[in-house]
């Protein structure tokens, strides 16, 4: 171990002994941080120029890794002096292109700000830095009898700061609510380098709800440096029910019937037959591969209430042609079922090398009809599709499988993806449930919002960022964003060569 530490120290010393960059912007950043925490080589910047989406952008400018709020402030002030755009970045697990650098902006990677600062069990609050991994926070809290409720499928790698940016959800957000419900306060560095606290730990913080405006703003209003999250007690009892159906329509109808009966489970997840087959082939979880669709339903709370809700859900399922109903008998079975669900997206790569994971929301009553239209659309364009989604709140995640090396395929994928958005909007749905708008759904904002709506959104953005330097070219469509000009602004030719 001592030898390892020595080698790492030598590498760090070597990096810090490098001469300051010839680029004035990079040199200032190196002085504000340290030379090993400002990357300027093309290969290093390339690694921070994409996220998990299928979208392309520019090449990152200098990539900075701050470790304190003061350093984030310094970066923002330097960016303003140089009139250089800035893109905040978490783990890069986003699926809407929100962290893709357009042009050559400064990329501020928040992954080194990863401390759990304070846990206040009495008041059920924890202060954390934005680079804390979602799942690691819950694992840290579990021995204390608590957890952090939002649980995106990428929770093993996504950060709390990234969750705040996109107002992320997850399977267990049906009853508990998404990120906004579980964040009480934020320390934010504004585009000009000032700090502010939005929200507070008091039951009724004074002033405007800037916390609510900031969460879900996708890095366009400022950069989160500290987050006060609400702690959720671990439930007394949990029942996990696996229900198989002949068709996805009967599964969707069961979802609506359960909610109409007054039961809001902790989670209600749906998977079609293809998804189940892929999961069982590569990550065996105990799903029936002969069913047209399955529902994974979880109820939690006090023991008596859990028993009553579970029994009623099973009755409703039987009334809707359930083929089989299984209840996990122990924690191992429960964990296996959830591992299968949360591994579905990754398992799809055994079928095709690439996938496009969509994200729209439709009314529960429209689930079955929309899914039929989506499946027909994929078939018409010769694309394989897997359906796995948060059925309880109508958050669809159609998974389009393809090989990007096949000529013309990516064009078909984007065409089908656009049509899925239109189908969802026609059904009374919205553009995104948790992945955000980014650059993926920008062009469709005018289909959901009026010009007046979009102009008001832009006025909010401009009030935080008058120069429109932070994450330009995202969310708001062209013609409604003060940052339009920044999208095209790049550093002078040759600086990054």
Residue 10 has a pLDDT of 57
pLDDT the model gives residue 272: 97
Interatomic CA distance for residues 342 and 218, integer angstroms: 24
Q: Are strands 86-89 and 106-109 parallel, antiparallel or unpaired?
A: parallel
Determine contact, residues 146/157, Cβ cutoff 8 Å.
no
Cα distance between residue 243 and residue 252, in whole Å: 12
pLDDT given for residue 59 in this prediction: 93
DSSP state of 208: -
- Identify the pLDDT of residue 482: 74
Decide if 224 contacts 188 (C-beta within 8 A).
Answer: yes
**Residue 244 DSSP label:** E
Determine the Cα–Cα distance for residues 298 and 327; give it in Å rounded to an integer.
Answer: 10
Low-confidence stretches of the chain (pLDDT beneath 50): 1, 487-497
Beta bridge partner(s), residue 244: 294, 324
Q: In what order do the strands lie in the sheet with 106-109?
A: 38-39, 63-64, 106-109, 86-89
pLDDT of residue 487: 47
Task: State the Cα–Cα distance between residues 260 and 111, nearest whole angstrom.
Answer: 42
Q: How far apart are CA 32 and CA 21, in angstroms?
A: 13
Give the number of residues written for the chain.
Answer: 497
pLDDT digits (tens, 9 = 90+) for 263-299: 999 999 999 999 999 999 998 999 999 999 999 999 9
| Confidence at residue 56, expressed as pLDDT on a 0 to 100 scale | 86
Q: What one-character DSSP code corresponds to residue 68? A: S
Nearest-Å Rg of the Cα atoms of the chain is: 23
The pLDDT score that the predictor gives to residue 483 is 62
CB atoms near residue 334 (< 10 Å): 18
3-state secondary structure of 335: helix
Give the residue among 339, 335, 146, 150 at the shortest CA–CA distance from 240.
Answer: 335
Burial class (CB in 10 A: 0-12, 13-18, 19+), 308: middle
Structure tokens at 116: 């759990």
Distance from C-alpha of 202 to C-alpha of 460, rounded to nearest angstrom = 25
DSSP state, residue 365: G
Per-residue buried b or exposed e for 45-77, using 16+ beta carbons within 10 Å of the residue's own CB: beebbbbbbbbebbebbbbbbbbebebbbbbbb
Structural domains of the chain ordered from first start: 17-110+441-452+467-491 (3.30.43.10), 116-233 (3.30.465.10), 237-426 (3.40.462.10)
Q: pLDDT tens, 341-395? A: 999 999 999 999 999 999 999 999 999 999 999 999 999 999 999 999 999 999 9
The pLDDT value given to residue 16: 58
Confirm if 404 and 354 have CB atoms less than 8 A apart.
yes
């Amino acid at each position: 171990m001592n030898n390892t530490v020595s080698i790492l120290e030598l590498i760090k010393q070597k990096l810090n002994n490098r001469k300051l960059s010839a680029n004035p912007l990079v040199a200032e950043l190196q002085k504000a941080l340290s030379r090993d925490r400002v990357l300027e080589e093309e290969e290093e910047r390339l690694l921070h120029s994409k996220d998990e989406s299928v979208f392309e952008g520019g090449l990152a400018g200098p990539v900075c890794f701050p470790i304190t709020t003061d350093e984030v402030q310094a970066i923002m002030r330097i960016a303003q002096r140089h009139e250089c755009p800035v893109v905040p970045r978490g783990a890069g697990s986003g699926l809407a292109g929100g962290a893709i650098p357009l042009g050559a902006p400064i990329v501020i990677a928040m992954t080194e700000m990863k401390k759990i600062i304070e846990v206040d069990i009495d008041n059920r609050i924890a202060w954390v830095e934005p680079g804390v991994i979602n799942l690691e926070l819950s694992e840290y809290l579990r021995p204390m009898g608590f957890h952090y409720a939002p649980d995106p499928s990428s929770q093993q790698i996504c950060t709390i700061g990234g969750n705040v940016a996109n107002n992320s959800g997850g399977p267990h957000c049906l009853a508990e609510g998404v990120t906004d419900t579980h964040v009480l306060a934020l320390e934010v560095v504004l585009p000009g380098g000032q700090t502010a606290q939005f929200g507070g730990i008091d039951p009724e913080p004074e002033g405007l709800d800037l916390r609510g405006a900031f969460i879900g703003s996708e890095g366009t209003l400022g950069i989160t440096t500290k987050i006060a999250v609400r702690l959720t007690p671990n439930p007394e009892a949990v029942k996990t029910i696996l229900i198989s159906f002949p068709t996805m329509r009967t599964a969707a109808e069961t979802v609506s019937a359960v909610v109409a009966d007054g039961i809001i489970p902790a989670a209600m997840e749906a998977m079609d037959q293809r998804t189940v087959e892929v999961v069982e082939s590569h990550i065996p979880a105990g799903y029936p591969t002969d069913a047209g669709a399955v529902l994974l339903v979880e109820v939690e709370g006090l023991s008596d209430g859990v028993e009553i809700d579970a029994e009623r859900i099973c009755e409703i399922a039987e009334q809707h042609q359930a083929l089989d109903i299984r209840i996990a008998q122990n924690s191992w079975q429960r964990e296996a079922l959830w591992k299968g669900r949360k591994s579905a997206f990754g398992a799809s790569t055994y079928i095709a090398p690439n996938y496009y994971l969509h994200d729209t929301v439709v009314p529960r009553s429209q689930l079955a009809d929309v899914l039929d239209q989506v499946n027909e659309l994929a078939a018409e364009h010769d694309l394989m599709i897997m359906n796995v989604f948060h059925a309880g709140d109508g958050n669809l995640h159609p998974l389009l499988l393809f090989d990007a090396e096949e000529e013309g395929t990516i064009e078909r994928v984007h065409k089908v993806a656009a049509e899925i958005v239109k189908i969802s909007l026609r059904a009374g749905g919205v553009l995104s449930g948790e992945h955000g708008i980014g650059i993926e759904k920008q062009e469709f904002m005018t289909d959901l919002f009026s010009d007046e709506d979009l102009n008001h959104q832009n006025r909010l953005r401009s009030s935080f960022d008058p120069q429109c330097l932070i994450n330009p070219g995202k969310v708001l469509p062209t013609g409604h964003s003060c940052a339009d000009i920044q999208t095209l602004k790049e550093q002078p030719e040759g600086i990054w060569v």
